[in-house]
Structure formats: structure tokens, C-alpha cells
């Protein structure tokens, strides 16, 4: 009588993991560079285009291909830097660097329609939120010829305003990496290509180089500020990377 020994099954391949052992994709995080192209009246008031960074975090609603997320970003649309004496008393013996930046912070809620899985995942989204426009000047050490960055001595927000904002976006995520091992939080990595068109209500702001002490009284009076006003609409092409995440609990 023949009997099977345990060694008889040692050469068999292990069965693939059960489908329910692989965590489902539950959300995604996105980081991207943005070009801010002013439109409408904003285009007439500021020169050139802006640039910045945006981030997104969102989760799917149930089993539907629908994401709810938060989209945050900052755009810089102007920068000036001058080397000036620390004071009239000290003169040019102690120079400092004075930098003025014109920025827009964008905060939006996003409702996005996009497939959970697949190598190519196109999407469309609607966005609603606000923009914070501000001009800020910082005074820092001027390290001539040194590799170290100077420390900020002082800073001031010269002008700021808020504007409600909303619009639409579209794009595609192209998968370049997929995690095969179950139990890992990171399930896939995508290259991201997209564009957003964000309308903005009217707001007041300063353009690049609009800070000049014309009467030389040592302070910036309201009458000396060339305050611009228009709708705050940007067309924003974007390129970045998306990380698809899964629950591991």
C-alpha cells in the first residue's frame, strides 16, 4: 500500500494571495509644479507668468470613482531683491538684502471623477475655495561670497486681500510603478499631467516693483502704493507625481 509523504507537495507553487488580502486603494496624494498664467484684468496688471507648487490629498467615496479632496498651493508672480545699507548712520559698510515677493495662496475643496485603477486614469474635477493675495518684504543678512544663507532680520506684509475662487480641472495620471506585495500602504506611483482654470472674484493687490518711498519719509504711505484691482483668474498647467494609497488596518 502506497502512502503519500509530505515531501510530495514541496514542488508545488504557492497559491496566489486571496483577493481580499490585497488592500483596496482608498485615496491618493499628489505633488506638482504649477505655472500660473493670469487671465482677464489680472493679465493687464501683472507682467509675465507665475510659478509655484501645489499639493492634493483625497479619498474615494465608497466604491464609486469619485474623490473628495483638499487642494493647496502657492504661486509667486513677482520678486525683487535689492542690496541696501543697513542704516543711514552705518552707511554701505553693513549691507543687507531686501526681498519683496508677490504671492497667491490657493485653498480649494475638490470633487473629482476618476477611475480607481488602471494604467491610464483620466479625470475631471470641480473646485471651490478662496485665494489669499499678499506682498511681503523680508530683510536678511547679505553674505557676499558665502555659501550659507543669510538669516532674516525682519519681515512685513505690505498688502494683502482675499478673493473667493472656483473653477474646473482635467488631466491624466499615468502609472509608472505598481506595488505587487500585499499589505503595503503605497500601491502605485503615477506621473501627473493636468490643468486648472480657476476664476477669482475681484481683489486688490500689488504688482512686482510697486513699493517705492516716493516722498522719502522712511515709510510706505497708502498714497504711495500702486494698488491694482481686478478679477483674480489663473490658467494653471501642472506636472507632478501621484501616490495611490491603501488602508492596511
What pLDDT digit, counting tens, does each position of 108-160 carry?
A: 999 999 998 899 999 999 999 999 999 998 887 655 444 445 566 778 888 89
Average pLDDT over residues 69-73: 97
pLDDT by residue (tens digit) across 173-204? 999 999 888 778 889 999 999 999 999 999 99
Average pLDDT across the chain, whole number: 82
User: What is the spatial distance between Cα 75 and Cα 49, in angstroms, rounded to a whole number?
Assistant: 10
| % of the chain with per-residue pLDDT over 70 | 73
pLDDT by residue (tens digit) across 45-67? 988 899 999 999 999 998 889 99
pTM over 0.85: no
3-state secondary structure at position 83: strand
- According to DSSP, residue 42 is labeled H
For residue 246, what pLDDT band results from cuts at 50, 70 and 90? Answer: confident
Q: Where are the domains of the chain?
A: 24-73+104-127+163-178+188-246
| Count of Cβ atoms closer than 10 Å to residue 184 Cβ | 13
User: What is the spatial distance between Cα 53 and Cα 187, in angstroms, rounded to a whole number?
Assistant: 24
Please tell me the CATH code under which domain 24-73+104-127+163-178+188-246 is placed: 2.40.160.20
Amino acid at each position: 500500500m502506497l502512502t503519500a509523504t509530505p515531501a510530495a507537495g514541496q514542488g508545488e507553487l504557492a497559491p496566489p494571495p486571496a483577493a481580499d488580502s490585497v488592500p483596496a486603494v482608498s485615496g491618493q496624494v499628489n505633488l506638482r509644479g504649477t505655472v500660473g498664467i493670469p487671465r482677464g484684468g489680472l493679465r493687464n496688471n501683472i507682467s509675465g507668468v507665475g510659478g509655484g507648487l501645489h499639493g492634493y490629498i483625497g479619498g474615494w467615496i465608497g466604491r464609486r470613482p469619485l474623490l473628495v479632496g483638499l487642494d493647496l498651493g502657492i504661486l509667486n508672480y513677482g520678486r525683487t531683491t535689492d542690496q541696501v545699507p543697513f542704516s543711514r548712520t552705518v552707511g554701505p559698510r553693513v549691507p543687507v538684502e531686501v526681498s519683496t515677493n508677490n504671492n497667491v495662496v490657493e485653498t480649494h475643496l475638490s470633487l473629482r471623477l476618476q477611475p480607481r485603477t488602471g494604467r491610464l486614469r483620466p479625470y475631471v474635477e470641480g473646485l471651490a475655495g478662496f485665494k489669499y493675495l499678499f506682498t511681503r518684504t523680508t530683510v536678511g543678512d547679505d553674505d557676499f561670497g558665502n555659501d550659507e544663507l543669510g538669516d532674516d532680520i525682519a519681515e512685513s506684509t505690505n498688502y494683502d486681500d482675499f478673493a473667493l475662487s472656483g473653477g474646473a480641472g482635467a488631466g491624466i495620471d499615468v502609472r509608472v510603478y505598481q506595488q505587487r506585495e500585499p499589505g503595503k500602504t503605497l500601491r502605485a506611483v503615477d506621473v501627473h499631467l493636468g490643468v486648472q482654470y480657476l476664476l477669482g472674484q475681484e481683489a486688490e493687490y500689488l504688482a512686482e516693483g510697486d513699493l517705492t518711498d516716493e516722498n522719502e519719509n522712511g515709510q510706505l504711505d497708502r498714497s504711495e502704493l500702486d494698488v491694482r484691482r481686478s478679477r483674480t483668474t489663473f490658467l494653471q498647467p501642472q506636472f507632478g507625481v501621484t501616490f495611490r494609497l491603501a488602508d492596511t488596518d
